Amino acid sequence: MEYVHYSVMSDEVLQYLTPPEQGEAILVDCTCGEGGHTYRFLSAHPNLSVIGLDRDASILEKARCRMEEFGDRFSPIHTSFDAFFKDSGAELYDLILFDLGISSYHYEESGRGFSFRKGEVLDMRLDTAEPISAMDVVNGYQEERLADLIYKYGEERYSRRIARAIVEERKLTKIKDSAQLAQIIYKAVPPAYRYGFLHPATKTFQAIRIEVNGELDRIEVALEGAIKALKRGGRIAVISFHSLEDRIVKWYFKGLDPEVIRILTKKPLVPSEAEREENPASRSAKLRVIEKL
């Protein structure tokens, strides 16, 4: 089976999330994906078991196949991390990892319209059982609401122009295809904006994906539950990929009681120059780590 995702900052994650030398330990990989981080943890620490969570059943199956050599040391669970910790008990786990990025699998293999470079059905759901898809957002939201979410979640300065263009296009025909949406956005922005560092559809696609999956709303709830579920002396690591995620994590950690939680990364760690060259998608990653006292 082929695996397309590159696990970001895995050396740094393994350095900070080290299980106790004695006895059995448990790590919760809250965004398991294809299992890149999990595989390295299980290979490095024979006394460690991993609970792998993911909202996408298809990618979790890839992780299950990848981890077969470790037997019952790997336990895949199809769920969202906020739901998992909501139902979890206290002081159960030694280590917890959140990698908030979207897996390369979703862009390259899922066929759900995550990429503006492909002509795929506009879906963007991580869990296909969820009721709202990208097609529903693009074709159903009122213009003002659409513009607001593109600005809020995409930090897109041309959000109103883009929303207006989408609404005008859908009067003529339903927008069903990711390449179709990308072309609408491309035509909506000023000519000079079309040839910048980022494709002009990048931020809008990010915003719609965040809206569809409720990504930002889940983070603080999950962190609260994760801290409760963490053993004393245990650690939580969070990798974020854009300022909206990192801001939530940063200020949540800063607001915690310093007698209970110690922040181990006063400034977030970032990928090495070598990693950024090898995997350009890692360039925006930030890693923050805390320890429960």
DSSP string, 6-71: PPTTHHHHHHH----SSS-EEEEETT-TT-HHHHHHHHH-TTEEEEEEES-HHHHHHHHHHTGGGG
- pLDDT, tens digit (0-9, with 9 covering 90-100), for 194-252: 987 789 999 999 999 999 999 999 999 999 999 999 999 999 999 999 999 999 999 99
Residue after which a domain boundary falls, among 151, 182, 213 = 213
Integer Cα distance of 65 and 35 in angstroms: 10
Integer Cα distance of 84 and 156 in angstroms: 33
Same domain, 94 and 116: no
Spell 253-289 as b/e; 16+ CB within 10 A means b. beebeeeebeeebeebbbbeeebeeebebbebbbbbb
CB 4 within 8 A of CB 104: yes
Same domain, 54 and 147: no
| Helix axes 215-229 and 243-254, enclosed angle (nearest 10) | 30
Token pair, residue 191, equals 């000519």
Among candidate residues 189, 210, 238, the one with its CA nearest the CA of residue 134 = 210
The total number of structural domains that make up the chain? 2
2 within domain boundaries: no
Residue after which a domain boundary falls, among 171, 187, 213 = 213
3 within domain boundaries: no
Residue after which a domain boundary falls, among 213, 245, 275 = 213
4 within domain boundaries: no
pLDDT band with cut points at 50, 70 and 90 for residue 22: confident
What phi and psi, each to the nearest 5 degrees, are found at residue 55? -80, -15
Same domain, 205 and 251: no
- pLDDT, tens digit (0-9, with 9 covering 90-100), for 48-73: 999 999 999 999 999 999 999 999 99
Average pLDDT over residues 2-9: 71
| DSSP secondary structure letters along 197-246 | SS-TTHHHHHHHHHHHHTHHHHHHHHHHHHHHHEEEEEEEEEEE-SHHHH
Which stretch of 7-11, 12-16, 127-131, 277-281 has the lowest confidence by average pLDDT?
Answer: 277-281
CATH number at residue 64: 3.40.50.150
Q: Which amino acid is at 195?
A: Y
pLDDT band with cut points at 50, 70 and 90 for residue 7: confident
CATH number at residue 154: 1.10.150.170
pTM score: 0.94
Integer Cα distance of 9 and 285 in angstroms: 8
What phi and psi, each to the nearest 5 degrees, are found at residue 73? -75, -15
Integer Cα distance of 70 and 43 in angstroms: 8
Query: How far apart, in Å, are the Cα atoms of 51 and each of 100, 210, 259?
Result: 17, 25, 28
- pLDDT, tens digit (0-9, with 9 covering 90-100), for 138-197: 999 999 999 999 999 999 999 999 999 999 999 999 999 999 999 999 999 999 899 877
Same domain, 150 and 89: no
Same domain, 92 and 38: yes
Same domain, 81 and 126: no
Range of the domain at 131: 112-213
pLDDT at 91 over 90: yes
